[in-house]
Amino acid sequence: MLRNDMLEKWDRDSFFHPSTHLAEFARGNAPQRVIRTGQGCHIEDRDGTRLLDAFAGLYCVNVGYGRTDIADAIAEQARELAYYHAYVGHGTEASITLAQMVLDRAPEGMSKVYFGQSGSDANETNIKLVWYYNNILGRPEKKKIISRWRGYHGSGLMTGSLTGLELFHKKFDLPLAQVIHTEAPYYYRRDDLDLSEEQFTDHCVAELEALIEREGADTIAAFIGEPVLGTGGIVPPPAGYWDKMQAVLKEHDILLIVDEVVTGFGRLGTMMGSDHYGLKPDLITIAKGLTSAYAPLSGSIVGEKMWKVLEKGTDENGPIGHGWTYSAHPIGAAAGVANLKLIDELNLVQAAGDTGAYFQNALKDALGNHAKVGEIRGEGLMAAVEFVADRDNRTFFDASEKVGPRVAAALLEHGVIGRAMPQGDILGFAPPFCMTREEADEVAGKTAKAVASVL
Ligand code: PLP
């Protein structure tokens, strides 16, 4: 085994880490941790430090670490057939089975699954399909995509544009012109409007209507949204939000893309986030929970209405000119099949709902009275604690105080991983579905200690 000091040197010399302060990393001031193994909700680094991962990696290791069923399925697939492409009608038993399993779990009205590698590329696929669809329908002007401020949809050119977080735009010349953003459904942060929750929903809907009016419905192709805002701060929508938003989109013939990269396959305590909020998507984006991150695989689930037009399009234009070398990669597909089976066998969707409710209560019991804790919120196994300088007025801390990152760092000292969300002083949690109640209590208790040490 390589010595740790050697590995750390190579890491600094050679490895370009995503979402990292490069200069601080080079100076040795940023965290550097080499992870060696994982089991259940815990990971362990090369120094033997064991951490309770209450963010499931990047809210993706939904079934927990160390699942040998999935590892065996991957190994077996690699031995049998590591790769063959999915172009021009090719498939494998794993990819075809997984497509069927995904559709069995998707909301009514969905027709086919296109497989990619990451959430970002699946969203790129969805936008291309939307544009293709409108071109086939003879509506070349209907191309703009509405996204929400604080939405997160990836960090490619288009998906980074759809993402409504400043960090992902800054200095990259994003967002692209076809993308327009609307109000984030973030009730807690819009106290300046002095509205009830229902009135705030109506405000979001009115903002959407005004945007459509301004831009012209005949120029807008689709709306994309996460059922619960994730990277933007773990924010469940205000009451009635999705019903009313959907009605407006339908009225203006604007397609709905539901980004279920985080919520797909159980995280909200329902199989899909769409089930949870009664969404009727035209397209669904899936990734993380599809394989619980045991192998990279994503998907675009296409609704029947769009599918008919896509088929017609290929009669007119020939084969669809869109594909990745690794579309429906057999190893990813084998991981997906084993993962979805495991979720069923262990009843993990129900567990996510039950443990999620328990965990949120535990956080409220441990932290609810703290003067600097403004809101504790969540849905299923997504939870957030938002810190404020003054609870009554909901005043922000100055960004230079880095409250969120400091609390996350203090929590890490207690052996628990939470995530300082990129915008605002928000500590996020999205643990594996196998988290026990004892572990939920441990996370809540240690978070309270971490908060007390910082604030
Ligand atoms: N969509 C959502 C809702 C996400 O949370 C993410 C990643 O966190 C993505 C898309 C992008 O997925 P990936 O990082 O696999 O490209």
- Tens of pLDDT, residue by residue over 387-434, are 999 999 999 999 899 999 999 999 999 999 999 999 999 999 999 999
154 pocket-lining for ligand 1 (C-beta < 6 Å): yes
pLDDT at position 2 over 90: no
| Ligand 1 atom with the shortest distance to the CA of 154 | 11
422 pocket-lining for ligand 1 (C-beta < 6 Å): no
ipTM: 0.99
287 pocket-lining for ligand 1 (C-beta < 6 Å): yes
Q: Which fold has domain 70-345?
A: Aspartate Aminotransferase; domain 2 (3.40.640)
Residue 59 Cα, ligand 1 centroid: separation in angstroms? 10
55 pocket-lining for ligand 1 (C-beta < 6 Å): no
| Ligand 1 atom with the shortest distance to the CA of 58 | 8
pTM over 0.80: yes
Q: Which of 24-38, 103-117, 205-219 has the lowest mean pLDDT?
A: 24-38
Give pLDDT, residue 403. Answer: 97
The CATH superfamily label for domain 33-63+347-454 reads Aspartate Aminotransferase, domain 1 (3.90.1150.10)
- How does DSSP classify residue 397? P
Q: Indicate the domain borders of the chain.
A: 33-63+347-454, 70-345
DSSP track, 247-316: HHHHHTT-EEEEE-TTTTTTTTSSSSHHHHHT---SEEEE-HHHHTTSS--EEEEEEHHHHHHHHHHHHH
Local confidence band at 5 (pLDDT 50, 70, 90 cut-offs): confident
Give pLDDT, residue 376. Answer: 98
Q: How many helices (H) and strands (E) does the chain have?
A: 16, 15
Give pLDDT, residue 96. Answer: 98
Compare 117 and 4 and report the one with higher pLDDT. Answer: 117
pLDDT at position 353 over 90: yes
231 pocket-lining for ligand 1 (C-beta < 6 Å): yes
Rounded average pLDDT over 172-199 = 97
Residue 288 Cα, ligand 1 centroid: separation in angstroms? 8
Select from 128, 64, 52 the least CA-distant residue to 418: 52
Local confidence band at 31 (pLDDT 50, 70, 90 cut-offs): confident
Local confidence band at 4 (pLDDT 50, 70, 90 cut-offs): confident
* 3-state secondary structure (DSSP) of residue 157: helix
CA-CA distance, 167 to 260, in Å (whole number)? 22
pLDDT at position 1 over 80: no
Give pLDDT, residue 211. Answer: 98
Q: Is 188 exposed, middle or buried (0-12, 13-18, 19+ CB in 10 A)?
A: middle
Best residue among 152, 263, 326 to mutate for probing ligand 1, ranked by most atoms within 8 Å of CB: 152
